[in-house]
Structure 1
Amino acid sequence: MIVSPDDLRVASEEHQLETWDGLTAKLAQVRQMLGSGLDDAAAVFLWAIFDGAMRRLALTTGTPVERLPEFKMMNELYTLGFMSVTEFQIAKKFIQVHNRVAHGFRSDDRTNVVKSFAKLLSELVANWRTESGRSSEAP
């Protein structure tokens, strides 16, 4: 992994990221969306929450990946052990569904994939919050 001088300035942006509590609240909104049959909207919102959670984890643990594009950041967090093989596979499948939905295509298995990823992301946020707490997270 290469660290650039820009990575050293990223800490000042931490206050602009959603807090762990905020991410958890947004996940509750996703559950409401799914309960109302708004699977496509939930898929798009879940991606934003996932992106924010990955960036918060990277910043609070001092992992210099937060400037990477989302997919590369996810791969790096998996490589560093922040996601299991199964979690990584579920996330990759979700990304495929998200991309189809976000670009106007149908995805026949979207409901199951989105619900599965929503459950996983709730677990990841809880785990990553604990992990980042060990690194003395700022509010």
Structure 2
Amino acid sequence: MTKQQTHDSILKNTAEQYKKNGYEVFIAPQVNELPFDLGRYRPDLLVKKSKNEGYIIEVKDVSREAPIDHYREIAETVAQHAGWRFLLVTGEDSAIGNLLSWEQIFRKKEHVERLIASGEKEAAFLPLWTIFEALMRKQAERASIPIERFPTSSLIKHLYSQGELSIAQFDQAIALLNVRNRIVHGFEIIEVEESFKQLKQLVDELIHLWMPQAS
């Protein structure tokens, strides 16, 4: 399959997903179909939930090909219009759906706290990792970095390159991602208690930094 065929396949699959979820879909929208002026930029996809709400989408084969600085400028322009979001979608992760709300995040955190209280730290690791990923995706959305649908490894790397994670947080996140991958693939984790402690500290730190009241 050529690069163009791969791009077109991702574009078609993404368009179909949004159609199934009730969106009006425009592939390679014309200027008169766009909800507002985007200058010389032309998106791959426009999906509308209503006249004043939807997504403007750029498709890339893989996340490493996305020039985030350039697309962040577009995302900031789009974010000035209430109800609209700019997204980068790749073949690695083109799932759609709503991000967890802060209320949902804190409910999950309460569940983790109950597992900790019962001494089930190993069982609490993956639910806590879910919270960590949710925090990163929400921060990407808040900062108009259009990567919240990216696979986890790329998400971490781009948040670091955009200054949202410190080098210490980045190093810790990559190390913990390796632990998470070993757990989900069925390998024994000897240091899981220490890894859990590090993950909980990182999650608490990011909640303090990123939750709306902190800003």
TM range (shorter): 0.7 to 0.9
The residue aligned with 1:77 is: 159
The residue aligned with 2:85 is: 11
Once residues 5 and 55 of structure 1 are traced to their aligned partners in structure 2, the CA distance between those partners, rounded to angstroms, is: 22
Of 174, 181, 195, the residue aligned with 1:113 is 195
Identity %: 28
The residue aligned with 2:177 is: 95
The residue aligned with 2:111 is: 29
16-25 or 90-99: bigger deviation: 16-25
| Paired residues of 1:94 and 1:117 also in contact (CA < 8 A) | yes
The reply on whether 1:47 has 2:95 as its aligned counterpart is no
- The one-letter code of the counterpart of 2:115 is M
Secondary structure in 2 aligned to 1:27?
A: helix
Once residues 11 and 38 of structure 1 are traced to their aligned partners in structure 2, the CA distance between those partners, rounded to angstroms, is: 39
Write 1 or 2 for the structure with the bigger share of strand. Answer: 2
Aligned residues: 131
Q: 1:63 to 1:5 in 2, by over 3 A?
A: farther
- Give structure 1 stretches of 5+ with no counterpart: 135-139
TM-score with structure 2 length normalisation?
0.52
Answer 1 or 2: higher relative contact order, Cα 8 Å, separation at least 6. 1
The residue aligned with 1:137 is: none
| Paired residues of 1:65 and 1:73 also in contact (CA < 8 A) | yes
Once residues 84 and 5 of structure 1 are traced to their aligned partners in structure 2, the CA distance between those partners, rounded to angstroms, is: 33
Once residues 176 and 197 of structure 2 are traced to their aligned partners in structure 1, the CA distance between those partners, rounded to angstroms, is: 10
How far off is 1:69 after superposition? 0.7
How far off is 1:28 after superposition? 3.0
Once residues 68 and 18 of structure 1 are traced to their aligned partners in structure 2, the CA distance between those partners, rounded to angstroms, is: 15
The residue aligned with 2:64 is: none
Q: 1:109 to 1:11 in 2, by over 3 A?
A: same
How far off is 1:67 after superposition? 2.4
Once residues 158 and 136 of structure 2 are traced to their aligned partners in structure 1, the CA distance between those partners, rounded to angstroms, is: 10
Once residues 44 and 212 of structure 2 are traced to their aligned partners in structure 1, the CA distance between those partners, rounded to angstroms, is: 28
Write 1 or 2 for the structure with the bigger share of helix. Answer: 1
Once residues 121 and 181 of structure 2 are traced to their aligned partners in structure 1, the CA distance between those partners, rounded to angstroms, is: 13
Q: Which of the two has higher C-alpha Rg?
A: 2
